[in-house]
Chain A
């Protein structure tokens, strides 16, 4: 067996260029699968991290009937927190309440639709520590008429620190109100949607603008150990709790589709690679017909002749797969540290996607082994028929072939 493997390996270097070109398809297929998988895993992580660190925590609660279609005014359904809910929230873990209010921001002649996030200064930092955010300036405090703008919003309006802006919003009772603020911070958070539309100010300031009557639209809770069980304890109190996984369900489902699409594309690449390998092994069988005849004449069994060609396909698949796995894994590990900056790509779509503009890939071994196994299997399967063809050679004719 070792001798057969040695002959197979040496046969592959007889025509190095052909071997490399044939193996390249396997190499790329394996590398793309690993990189694509790492990227999709990274996007999954990114979406969860983005939601957790900017608005959801481990559990997010919204009022019963809170509109998700933009057709109704959100404050109409907002509710104050009952004492019982507060008690249960305290029992689960750290939490904070926020109120999101749709508004219009005016800067000079420019105006833009925005969402104002009113935050509780005493508890917001306990849930959202803002460590991964890039904050230019000082986050607003309740003593001053200040706001923080999302970085994409600021860029769109060409707003700078110290600029005066006017925010127009409806109060909870339906009146239109407008107040002037100074931009004290420009924020690049982990969430491109919030960066595109978000304006932050303390709840007390938002209360002046929108007359909230103590209502909240979002409650974020930290409960990392068992969020599903914790969420169950928070039901039936006027707010609907969702775990982070439930909150991001649609995006994760979308990623499952991406993963399947990636599998189909890579599958096609590897099938093409299989066809290439089959072609190469057939060519090798025809070119070496006299050699095959000689091996048979010397007493090699047809099974071993078959194995020789299967080994050639397998070694080619394994070699190309290993190089592809190394390249793919290397790229995943590189982007796991350095990230992929999608800022410009998310400019247009970011307003609708809770996703950070820096995507960090995620390395794990299963895709490496899966891709490698798939590549080698395709290579070996592609060699089966050529191997059978080679082993069915008639030695009497083959030993005299030109």
Chain B
């Protein structure tokens, strides 16, 4: 199992109140999975993704990544885990606007400390997502779909243990959304890349191999598709 949440609880202070985002959930993701965390807004799916992605720490419980509890790590160590083991794809693409497509992809390699054959890896990653001819373009010179492809290349290039995609099609039209999902599915099937999504989009759920349903901070369903 690549990652596992064990008895994870996450609460946030909000004024005098305490909001419970996750109420002690247990869930794990195996290598090669194409899993969706589904649920309405406020269900806790993004919080769960943040914890698995080492972007946040649980209030209690364990977050295991490659069998190691990352909840106890310091900021810099967590940063290193993110840099080397986790790829991110965001709803709003989150490319660095002053960098070209190639430099955005290269940034992930630099931060992971992967210097060997960097240029070739960047080129291959952009070829894989169909952007061979767009390497020198900045994000503002790319369409939304192209930007998300750059984001996928950035996530893939360092060959992470898992790629976390937070509503990756939410800012795309249906045509581009489907194309992006097909691309990720292809990489999952061809290269055994592990993907973990959050979404409430039925189109994404229809392509998933496993759907974990959350509601009010608890897991209310876990279906594996054929």
A residues engaging B (CB < 8 A)? 3, 7, 10-11, 14, 290-291, 293-303, 394-396, 399-400
Residue of B nearest to A402 (CB): B92
Instruction: Select one of B88, B91, B92, B97 contacting A297, CB under 8 A.
Output: B88
Q: How far apart are B156's CB and chain A's nearest CB, in angstroms? A: 13
Interface: B210 (CB within 8 A) = no
Interface: B189 (CB within 8 A) = no
**Are A11 and B90 within 8 A (Cβ)?**
no
List of B residues within 8 angstroms of A396 by Cβ? 50, 55-56
Residue of A nearest to B49 (CB): A396
List of B residues within 8 angstroms of A394 by Cβ? 56
**Are B90 and A298 within 8 A (Cβ)?**
no
Alpha-carbon distance between A291 and B50 when the two chains are bound, in angstroms? 17
What are 25 A-B pairs at a CB distance below 8 A? A3-B110, A7-B96, A7-B99, A10-B98, A10-B99, A291-B94, A294-B88, A294-B90, A294-B94, A297-B94, A298-B83, A298-B107, A299-B81, A299-B82, A299-B83, A299-B84, A299-B108, A301-B79, A302-B76, A302-B79, A395-B55, A396-B50, A396-B56, A399-B88, A400-B166
List of B residues within 8 angstroms of A294 by Cβ? 88, 90, 94-96
Main secondary structure of the interface of A (DSSP, over half): helix
B residues engaging A (CB < 8 A)? 46, 50, 53, 55-56, 75-76, 79-84, 88, 90-92, 94-99, 107-108, 110-112, 154, 166
**Are A298 and B82 within 8 A (Cβ)?**
yes
List of B residues within 8 angstroms of A400 by Cβ? 46, 90-92, 166
Most chain B CB inside 10 Å of its own CB: which residue of A10, A301, A395: A395
**Are A300 and B79 within 8 A (Cβ)?**
yes
Alpha-carbon distance between A396 and B91 when the two chains are bound, in angstroms? 13
With A298-B108, A300-B79, A300-B111 as contacts: A399 and B84 at CB distance below 8 Å: no
Q: How far apart are B158's CB and chain A's nearest CB, in angstroms? A: 9
**Are B98 and A14 within 8 A (Cβ)?**
yes
**Are B75 and A297 within 8 A (Cβ)?**
no
Alpha-carbon distance between A193 and B75 when the two chains are bound, in angstroms? 72
Q: How far apart are B69's CB and chain A's nearest CB, in angstroms? A: 18
* Additional A-B contact list (10), CB under 8 Å, known A297-B82, A300-B83: A290-B94, A291-B97, A293-B94, A298-B108, A299-B82, A299-B84, A299-B108, A300-B79, A396-B50, A400-B91
Alpha-carbon distance between A301 and B56 when the two chains are bound, in angstroms? 15
Instruction: Select one of B56, B79, B98 contacting A7, CB under 8 A.
Output: B98
With A11-B98, A14-B97 as contacts: A298 and B55 at CB distance below 8 Å: no
Alpha-carbon distance between A293 and B90 when the two chains are bound, in angstroms? 11
A-B pairs with the 9 shortest C-beta distances? A299-B83, A10-B98, A396-B55, A299-B111, A294-B94, A396-B56, A396-B50, A299-B82, A299-B79
Q: How far apart are B14's CB and chain A's nearest CB, in angstroms? A: 13
**Are A302 and B111 within 8 A (Cβ)?**
no
**Are A291 and B112 within 8 A (Cβ)?**
no
Instruction: Select one of B75, B92, B111 contacting A298, CB under 8 A.
Output: B111
Q: How far apart are A47's CB and chain B's nearest CB, in angstroms? A: 53
Alpha-carbon distance between A400 and B56 when the two chains are bound, in angstroms? 13
Alpha-carbon distance between A395 and B111 when the two chains are bound, in angstroms? 16
Alpha-carbon distance between A126 and B76 when the two chains are bound, in angstroms? 78
List of A residues within 8 angstroms of B88 by Cβ? 294, 297-298, 399
Alpha-carbon distance between A10 and B99 when the two chains are bound, in angstroms? 8
Residue of B nearest to A12 (CB): B98
**Are A295 and B82 within 8 A (Cβ)?**
no
Alpha-carbon distance between A400 and B107 when the two chains are bound, in angstroms? 20
**Are A301 and B76 within 8 A (Cβ)?**
yes
Q: How far apart are A78's CB and chain B's nearest CB, in angstroms? A: 79
Q: How far apart are B171's CB and chain A's nearest CB, in angstroms? A: 12
Q: How far apart are B157's CB and chain A's nearest CB, in angstroms? A: 11
Alpha-carbon distance between A394 and B79 when the two chains are bound, in angstroms? 12
Residue of B nearest to A291 (CB): B96
List of A residues within 8 angstroms of B112 by Cβ? 299
With A301-B76, A302-B75 as contacts: A399 and B98 at CB distance below 8 Å: no
Q: How far apart are A375's CB and chain B's nearest CB, in angstroms? A: 25
List of B residues within 8 angstroms of A296 by Cβ? 79
Alpha-carbon distance between A298 and B55 when the two chains are bound, in angstroms? 10
